[in-house]
Amino acid sequence: MGTILYAEDGRRFRNTAWSWRSLWGFVAQHCDGILSTRDVEQGMRNDGHLIANDVAQNLAACLEELLDQGEVARYEQFHQQYVESLPLVQCWLCAQPDFDPAAEECYVCHGDEVIPSPRAWYSLTEENVRQFVTFCRKSGGFRIC
């Protein structure tokens, strides 16, 4: 499961579903007035929503400024601390009524009965933002699938 952006020239940009949601959420939060409410919502749905070239160029410019100001690095650090602070959650497989830990080893938690919070799957990195900026610059506009 993931998100693929298709540029007008056929190039692609791939993220996991979680890293895409983190990236798009960051963009929506920090690049005021570039995306419409519809862009923000449709961008989370992977249904082929089109981001026009002028919007893509504005996003690239906005994100480059945030990278230069260290805003992305600060956000990445903050997010990492948040993820590390999340409590472990009960293993979903061990919690199944028909799962018997005496009969088989749990391949999800390996017997720990707890796993990292699914919220830890969301991630935003400076590297990913830089890759997205490069993609936006060259894209000519793109579709979110």
Q: Considering beta carbons, is residue 89 or 106 the nearer one to Zn ion?
A: 106
From the CB of 108, what's the least distance to Zn ion, in Å?
5
Among candidate residues 66, 83, 79, 80, the one with its CA nearest the CA of residue 130: 66
Contact 25, 18 (CB under 8 A): no
From the CB of 109, what's the least distance to Zn ion, in Å?
3
From the CB of 127, what's the least distance to Zn ion, in Å?
32
Helices 17-30 and 126-139, axial angle in degrees (round to 10): 80
Among candidate residues 128, 130, 140, the one with its CA nearest the CA of residue 14: 128
Q: Considering beta carbons, is residue 73 or 94 the nearer one to Zn ion?
A: 94
Q: 36 to each of 12, 13, 27, 56, 125, how far by Cα in Å? A: 23, 21, 12, 12, 24
Q: Considering beta carbons, is residue 28 or 108 the nearer one to Zn ion?
A: 108
Q: Considering beta carbons, is residue 86 or 95 the nearer one to Zn ion?
A: 95
From the CB of 116, what's the least distance to Zn ion, in Å?
12
Residues engaged in binding Zn ion (CB under 5 A): 91, 93-94, 106, 108-109
